[in-house]
Structure 1
Amino acid sequence: MGAVRTKESPLATQKAVVTASVGLHARPAAVFVRAVTATGLPVTIAKDGISGVDARSLLQVMTADFHHGCEVELAISENVLEDVVSREKASRVLQELGELLESQGAV
């Protein structure tokens, strides 16, 4: 079952490269999903050819096959968050998640 990209405009986006040697599978995916869930924000993760999936879902993240070296885009939808979080906080959260992916901290 493929992911469906919402038509909502993103509040904030962040590009990152997956540096874990196994990509976002097993432990690296679990570490990343826990970090996303801890933010309390509805973050999506996408790559070329694959619509954004819910980054809080281990199954969706692992199924999307974000391999080593893959460039991804993290996003938070403006429509979902209009009154919940500032653009600055959303950008900061996405930057931290991007740094996690690029630091191999998700290994």
Structure 2
Amino acid sequence: MGERKATVAAEVGLHARPAATFVQTAMKAPMDISVAKVTGGQRVNGKSILQIMALDVRQGETIVITAEGEGAEEVLDQLASIASTP
């Protein structure tokens, strides 16, 4: 199982536009993707905008993104980049 940690850099956290971009990218992947805060670690579906927004990830918080399967490393790199883009 692949895993990436990313510190959320967007001023609004992982909400609104950053969350939509994250989910759109995750939806293109054939595998399951999960996201959790490093602190308080409830895992949610990375392809669900409602679940991502319900995590209430704020600027400066770190998330863990996991995926398993062919192409997971590339997808994880893309998602970590989205999360860490201001």
TM-score, normalized by the shorter chain, greater than 0.5: yes
Q: Which amino acid aligns with 1:61?
A: I
- 1:103 aligns to what SS in structure 2? coil
Question: In the comparison of the two structures, how many residue pairs are matched?
Answer: 85
- The 5-angstrom pairing of residues 46-85 of structure 1 reads 46-47=36-37, 48-77=39-68, 81=69, 85=70
**Whose radius of gyration is greater, 1 or 2?**
1
Counterpart in the other structure of 2:7: 17
Q: Which residue of the partner structure matches residue 76 of structure 2?
A: 94
- Residue 102 of structure 1, CA deviation: 1.0
- Unpaired runs of 5+ residues, structure 2, are none
2:20 corresponds, among 6, 30, 47, to 30
Cα RMSD for the two superposed structures: 1.3
Using the size of structure 2 for normalisation, the TM-score is: 0.89
- Matched-pair identity in %: 34
**Structure 1 residues without counterparts, runs of 5 or longer:** 1-10
Q: Please tell me the residue identity of whatever aligns with 1:96.
A: Q
Match of 1:60, SS state, is helix
Instruction: Report the CA distance between 1:37 and its aligned residue.
Output: 0.7
